[in-house]
Amino acid sequence: KEKVEITKEQQALVKVVVEAYNRHQIPQDVAKKLLQDQYSAEENFLLLTEMATSQVQVLVEFTKNIPGFLSLDREDQIALLKGSAVEAMFLRSAQVFSKKMPNGHTEVLEERIRKSGISEEFMTPMFNFYKSIGELHMVEEEQALLTTITILTPDRPYVKDQQAVERLQETILDVLRKMCVLQHPQDPQYFARLLGRLTELRTLSHYHAEMLTSWRVNDHKFTPLLCEIWDVQ
């Protein structure tokens, strides 16, 4: 039986990433807002663009704490941020959706999202993803490391030094693999299932631009930052 052990420096790396991940969170909780009131499609679209804009700002701050990220070529840093922003947003949305809530709240939240203005065709893939993330019952270390692995995807468009990104990603993959073995000894497939979610995440993200343009509102207004990072408008 292979003795899996997390080294001192790997523990330090996880600590840095998890603390940054928890520090850089969306200021106010969108789920609470959605549970409080029923909003119009216009209000929901505005809420999404506000939440997503602040999440991008938070993502930029978070990446500064990923060991080695700031040593990457600066243009590659931008390419990684741009390439992972939508996936990071859906991953965060899935984590918000899967958070333990009082009885019946998740159903209300799902209902509010179903009626938010997003067109019907995207509901199944989106909620399938959210529920498959929820079923994993990830601990916060796994959430933080999975987001970091998503950001450090070497084959994003316009990345020049893919090897440098691959080396950073492998460091995170190695410690996440060990953590999964230690955290879920009864489920040797857990790490593979975790990474399998990233494939589902990439597919869901392909729908994103269409989800926005088909939102049932007359005028689809975006912030300058979202125009930049979401390739819209």
Query: Binding string, 74-113, against ligand 9KY, x = CB under 6 A?
Result: ---------------x--xx--xx---------------x
CA–CA distance, 202 with 150 (Å, rounded to integer): 9
Which of 43/166 has CB closer to ligand 9KY?
43
Taking CB under 6 A as the rule, does residue 136 contact ligand 9KY?
A: no
Taking CB under 6 A as the rule, does residue 31 contact ligand 9KY?
A: yes
Query: What are the residues whose beta carbons fall under 8 Å from the beta carbon of 62, sequence distance 6 or more?
Result: 20, 21, 24, 147
Q: What's the start-to-end Cα distance of the chain, in Å? A: 55
Q: Which residue in 26, 60, 78, 123 binds ligand 9KY (CB under 6 A)?
A: 26
CA–CA distance, 181 with 38 (Å, rounded to integer): 42
Taking CB under 6 A as the rule, does residue 20 contact ligand 9KY?
A: no
Q: Find where tokens 């039986």 sit.
A: 1
| Interacting residue ranges for ligand 9KY, rule: CB under 6 A | 26, 30-31, 44, 47-48, 51-52, 55, 89, 92-93, 96-97, 113, 116, 118, 208, 211-212
